[in-house]
Amino acid sequence: MAAIFEQSGPFDEDSILVERFVAGDKEAFETLYRKYYAKVFSLSRGVLLDSDEAADITQEIFTLVFRNLPRFNRSSKFSTWLFRVAINRSIQEGRKRRFKNKPLELTEVLEQPAPETKQEQSDPTVQATMAQLAPQDRAILTLFYWQELSLNEIADSMSINLNAAKTRLYRARERFRVIYEVEDKKL
């Protein structure tokens, strides 16, 4: 059975879970959720650069997937479709945040309760660098370096062709490197 699950194609594990869910088995979706939550959260966080917002968006993404999974046409892998939904939703939210966010006044900062200490230890240089990139650049870097997807998978997930994926990745990592070096010198 394991051999069957390992192969990609219409009979991979994800496809079976999708079929079970469409047939009414809600636990099948729970399995998919547990399997992909970390990846989707990581992707959203890479685009949004905020863990809380990423957690909210991740829930929203899975809600969208839950609602629309019966309409999933199985022309691509479930994971590709899921990442496509996640990327689009995260980039959409990232663009919204760009216009929504404004610098906080000092009084506002003082009035706010102290933020909870996060267990994660982000590299401030990387964070500062990522914050200066466009959401699309952050998305492709996240998919490639964090999710470790192949260029073909990235192309499928971003609904672009392979050459476009290569070009976008090349430009994104060059931008990242240039800004990273500047930020690294600052700190």
Q: Token digits for 106?
A: 């000092």
* Cβ partners under 8 Å of residue 78, min gap 6: 14, 15, 17, 18, 32, 72
User: What is the C-alpha separation between 140 and 99, in angstroms, rounded?
Assistant: 22
Near another protein by CB under 8 A: residue from 29, 78, 81, 83: 29
C-alpha 131, offset from chain centre: 15
# chain residues binding another protein, by CB under 8 A: 38
- If the CB atoms of residues 7 and 127 are measured against another protein, the closer one turns out to be 127
Residues in 91-150 at the binding interface with another protein, rule: CB under 8 A: 118-123, 125-127, 130, 141-142, 145-146
Q: Are 169 and 151 in contact (CB under 8 A)?
A: yes
CA 88 to CA 119: how far, in whole Å? 28
Q: How far is the CB of 1 from another protein (least distance, A)?
A: 25
Which residue lies nearer to another protein by CB, 74 or 171?
171
Q: Using CB under 8 A as the criterion, which residues of the chain lie in contact with another protein when the complex forms?
A: 26, 29-30, 33-34, 37-38, 41-42, 45-46, 51, 55, 59, 62-63, 66-67, 118-123, 125-127, 130, 141-142, 145-146, 170, 173, 176-177, 180-181
